[in-house]
Amino acid sequence: MLSTFLNHQWKEFWRSRNKAGSIVAQVLLGFFILYFLAMAIVVGFGMELFIGKIFPGQNTITVFNSFILYYFLIEFALRMQLQELPTLSIIPYLHLKISRRQIVNFLNIKSLFSLFNFLPFFVFFPFIFVKIAPSLGMLTGAMYMLTMVSIAVFNNFFILYLKRKAINNVMYFGLGLSLILIGIGLDYYQIISLRNVSNNTFLAIARYPFIALFFTLAAALMLLVNSKYLLANLYTEELSSKNDKKVSTDYAFLNKFGRVGELAALELKLILRHKRSRSSALMGLFFLAYGLLLYKPEMIKTDSFGMMLFAAIMMTGISILTYGQFMFAWQSSHFDGLLTNKIDFKDFIKAKFLLFTISSTLITILASFYGFMSWKLLLLHLAAYLYNIGFGTVVVLYFATLNYKRLDINKSASFNWQGVGASQMILGLPFILLPIFIYLPFGTLDHPFWGLFAVGVFGLFMLLLRNFWVKVITNKFEKQRYKIAEGFRE
């Protein structure tokens, strides 16, 4: 059964409509994975050497022990951002003679094939073989390994659980984020030293090796919780449709934009009336916390805006990125209707620009509380904001005309994982990198404010050219519309 599923997945990937896009993403992803594996092997085999160099005179095993939990905390944070939910369009299988447990098992097993689950093998195991096992005994070495694998598996399923829950309720994403922040905060303010906890844990394992089984138990429990949740939700497709009365609404503030405003209002309703789009809108609010992580006092003092520009672009442009990456596909279920009705394509494109501009403006205003940290951040945000509405919107909409993949916005959100995770992030790279490239020459020549100025002026210039871009994208859209419509009809 498992091999049949894998076979179907394989076909789904190779026969999908925007194959080219996903292959590019996969290849890029492949390079990243190879790079990380290579790094991990270097770190793994050089561990003893590195520890000796960086912490001279300390017991290498103690240092090693104290960093293990750090590693897993960082891993957790990365998974939060990058790990993809295993996808398998389940509905066609549900009515067949396949037990639900088999489907759940497949999803669980597939999730284990994640880079994160393999990294510990390369990072930690060499050192365990070379150092721990000889000096503390084979059993201890084995239990070290068991503990690490268990924590990785625990993280794996915990993240999947959080992510699945977060699709229906964004608070779960917040929960994960706050767990990470609490972990970092406790350590940073020296309330609980993660290093000591880590060291003591593994010292205990060295003394009583079977404590490791406790971690295995935790991982098994997490797997159980996850399976239970999946199993329960395989049944209740319509769990979420409450029978409250729906009312017609009218957004008066958009009326003054005429027909463009009407189309924007239509899309606003789309966003607000579907769980999936609503969560991605809310996700934008959580991203407002990005600055807290990435804006460092030293950076602000020395005017090194390079790294901070990244965070600023992400924050002020998050709505453009998250909503824009699936652009047009949000409307795939009624795309034919949009094409045959009396809608000018130019208005259609303009409405998207309008919506992006409004959302980005709102978020930028919200983000201005960073002004309390430093007035420089406001300049930074202004530059990022101008770039986003001026050029970010253009990039996203241009790529949207190349997206032929249907998105079933109506399907129960729990099993709608199309494109959640790393591959989409990589397609977002040009969006993020361009402003940094503009800034870089000024930054390295020690004219940081001119760098911000350049980014801002670039954005402003593109904003003034908006009518031109609208024309370019409309033309592209007119050419592509048959292909897009065909893809969305599937």
Partner 1 sequence: MITCKNLKKNYGGKTVVNISELTIGDGETIGLVGNNGAGKTTLFRMLLDLIRPDEGEILSKNENVAQNQHWKNYTASYLDEGFLIDYLTPEEYFIFIGSLHNLSAAHVADYLKQYEEFFNGEILNRGKYIRDFSKGNQNKVGIAAALMQKPELLILDEPFANLDPTTQIRLKSLLKNLKTTHKLTTLISSHDLNHVTDVCDRIILLEKGLIIKDFHTDENTLKELEAYFSE
User: How large is the angle between the packed helices 194-207 and 171-188, nearest 10 degrees?
Assistant: 90
Count of helices and strands (H, E) across the chain: 26, 0
Nearer to partner 1, 190 or 248 (CB): 248
Dist CA 423 CA 22 (whole Å) = 8
∠ CA 235-239-240, nearest 5°, is 145
- Nearest-approach distance from CB 288 to partner 1, in angstroms: 27
Euclidean distance between CA atoms 368 and 379, whole angstroms? 10
Smallest distance, partner 1 to C-beta of residue 251, A:
11
Q: DSSP letters along 99-110, please?
A: -HHHHHHHHHHH
64 or 488, CB closer to partner 1? 488
Cα(412)–Cα(230) distance, integer angstroms = 13
Residue at token pair 């769980």: 275
* Whole-number Å distance between alpha carbons of 404 and 161: 30
Interatomic CA distance for residues 371 and 379, integer angstroms: 9
Q: Please, what is the minimum distance in Å from the beta carbon of residue 485 to partner 1? A: 6
Smallest distance from the beta carbon of 205 to partner 1, in angstroms? Answer: 54
Instruction: Give the residue with the Cβ less far from partner 1, 137 or 258.
Output: 258
- 147 burial type by CB count under 10 A (0-12 exposed, 13-18 middle, 19+ buried): buried
Nearer to partner 1, 167 or 382 (CB): 167
Q: Which is nearer to partner 1, 131 or 274 (CB)?
A: 274
- Taking the least distance from each CB to partner 1, the nearer of 163 and 275 is 275
Helices (H), 236-274: 252-255, 258-272
- Identity of the amino acid at 257: F
Burial of 264 (0-12, 13-18, 19+ CB in 10 A): buried
228 or 273: CB nearest partner 1: 273
State the nearest-atom distance from the C-beta of 237 to partner 1, in Å. Answer: 14
| Residue with Cβ nearer partner 1 (12 or 486) | 486
Residue 54 vs 247, nearer CB to partner 1? 247
Which residues of this protein are in contact with partner 1, per CB under 8 A? Answer: 241, 245-249, 259, 262, 266, 269-270, 273-274, 333-337, 339-345, 410, 482, 485-486, 489
Q: Is-contact 123 43, C-beta < 8 A? A: yes
State the distance between the two ends of the chain, measured CA to CA, in whole angstroms. 26
Question: Residue 396 CB, nearest distance to partner 1 (Å)?
Answer: 22
The least distance separating partner 1 from the CB of residue 264, rounded to whole angstroms, comes to 12
Q: How many Cα atoms are found within 13 Å in the side-chain-facing hemisphere of 382?
A: 14
Amino acid at 316: T
Q: In angstroms, give the least distance from the CB of 93 to partner 1.
A: 24
Report, in Å, the least distance between residue 411 CB and partner 1. 11
- Distance of closest approach, residue 271 Cβ to partner 1, in angstroms: 10
Alpha carbon 279 to chain centroid, angstroms: 13
- The token duo for 420 is 């959640």
Residue 24 CB neighbour total at 10 angstroms? 14
276 or 381, CB closer to partner 1? 276
